[in-house]
Amino acid sequence: DAGVTQSPTHLIKTRGQQVTLRCSPKSGHDTVSWYQQALGQGPQFIFQYYEEEERQRGNFPDRFSGHQFPNYSSELNVNALLLGDSALYLCASSSYLSTDTQYFGPGTRLTVL
């Protein structure tokens, strides 16, 4: 099991563009959470998906949206990119009915120019 995987590893976009980031959860996990980690900061919760629905959301604007597929993988979409969206985007997976912790992926580094 490769654990949580994310693609792409790095991405460069310009202001105003749209981006899609992808995440495959750890085998056996059905819940995916997304976090944004700006330089020098801890990860900040964006939202969580379970059963293909957004279950919880952090303090992020509607430009941030997501999707979960039947195979539990997930996408994070960001529209109208701003310079301030430059960050490491982390995906974490877990099992909804388990008290086990979240497992994190390696992240996607997004740079907005």
Partner 1 sequence: AQRVTQPEKLLSVFKGAPVELKCNYSYSGSPELFWYVQYSRQRLQLLLRHISRESIKGFTADLNKGETSFHLKKPFAQEEDSAMYYCALQSYNTDKLIFGTGTRLQVFP
Q: Which stretch binds partner 1 (CB under 8 A): 16-24, 39-47, 64-72, 73-81?
A: 39-47
Among residues 34, 35, 64, 72, which is the contact residue for partner 1, using CB under 8 A?
A: 35
Q: Pairing mode, if any, of strands 64-68 and 53-57?
A: unpaired
Q: How far apart are the first and last CA of the chain?
A: 36
**Other beta carbons less than 10 A from residue 15's beta carbon:** 11
Among 23, 26, 43, 85, binds partner 1 (CB under 8 A): 43
Sort strands 108-112 and 53-57 into parallel, antiparallel or unpaired.
Answer: unpaired
CB 26 within 8 A of CB 1: yes
Q: Which of residues 50-109 bind partner 1 (CB under 8 A)?
A: 56, 58, 90, 92, 94, 101-107
Looking only at residues 13 through 32 of this chain, which bind partner 1 when binding is defined by CB under 8 A? 31
Binding site for partner 1 (CB under 8 A): 3-4, 31, 33, 35, 40-45, 48, 56, 58, 90, 92, 94, 101-107
